[in-house]
Structure 1
Amino acid sequence: MIATFTALLFAHVLADFLVQTNTMVRRKTEFGFFALHIAIVFALSAAALGGAWQTALAIAGLHLIIDAIKTWGLTEARRNTLSAFLTDQGAHVLSIAAVVWVWPDAISTGLWADHVTAALPHVILITGAIVAIFAGGYAVGLLMEPYTAQIDQNKGLAQAGRMIGQLERALIFLFLMVNETAAVGFLIAAKSVLRFDTAAQGQKEGEYVIIGTLASFGWALAVGFATESLLEFAATSP
């Protein structure tokens, strides 16, 4: 059951955060782009399970329903909020859990049946890294969106903030996975020193940096600890 869940979760984060482009997200209200995304979900789910197409089809159908509600049931302003994002992702995870409850052994019938035990820890780590680095960037971006207009975004390099966020979340995730939690404190201190000039420019800039940094670090820590828990659960499951 845990292997099937992990495989489907891996396919989901690939489909939503790596394969899905910014263009696909912006134009998701168009049927062609929407259908393409659902087809990708089905294909990746089937591939992750090693060919269990019935389970993959169920996942794609539920994904379609959840995304359709978000895409056409909410206004654009309500869609582009952190609460909508978290609700959407929570619904996807619950749908995966529901499908796994019905087909717990789906992965054992596929092509990867003989490699599940060896591959499972690696798939969990990769899934956690994607959620920490890329999903975290999207979540933090939505959180900071209301404050972005109040800050002069033309003072630094284009996309530098996004890259810094990805790197810091990647480092935090790595530190947790190798059991070097103390290094996270050094990373916080280092960023505080490097960002001192920006924070000193004014109250708004300072508060913006603090909120974004704490949100980014908090997301990476939460995902890192969740990944560790899943690894421990997978190791002790029969």
Structure 2
Amino acid sequence: MSDITLLMFLILGHVACDFYFQPDSWVKKKNEHHHKSIELLLHSALHGIVAASIFYVLNSNSTVLNAMYVVVAVSVIHYATDLIKSYSQKWQLIYFLVDQLVHIGVLIAVWLVVTGQVESFKEQWTIDNLSHKHALYILAYIAIFKPASVLISMILKPWTRDLKPEDDTDTLKSAGQQIGYFERFLMLTFILLSQYSVIGFLLAAKSVFRFGDLTAAQDKKLTEYVMLGTLASVTVTISIGLFVIYTVGKVTIN
């Protein structure tokens, strides 16, 4: 079995333990009792045991001692990470994403150590191997969020004042901005992958959801505003994507 297959099964085990083998009651008690929660100990131990079992069964070079190291490393770090997250209820989405990145990062680190690929990893992932391509891809994704929102707001400003205050009383706070973030992220990704037909499907799906506004005469002003915002968002994203492709080429997936 290849090393990358082993890593995929480790991540699969993590997903199973974190989302399928963890009852909602455990999550609630972790958030209420923190370090006093028995459920937190059980959850962390389960992660360690599952990860060690996968290593021991699927890695032909593994030993009982290596499996013990995996149990301790994964369990302890998972416990510490989830404990910190249990105190951080205000920004749940951010801490959830960071929590998952830490868990997967630990699995990758343990995988590198046990499979003896640390030196190879260091050679491939060094500052010397970074290029303008990496910086440009990162810059493109950063630009489509807040900078693009500011630019689109400036474009729409002459028409924003024409909307009556009651025009947006039934909308969710900041929902439009978040929709724009997801929309531009998907469009940029499809552009870099040269999947332009999917972009057409995405825009068509959005038009279907706005069909009710298009047929309501009293919402004509709001509909035109939304359409203008969508076109501005699409224009900005396509411009950024085409610039990246022209500069460094499309993203290739092996």
TM-score by length of 1: 0.47
Higher Cα radius of gyration: 2
* TM-score for the superposition, normalised by structure 2: 0.44
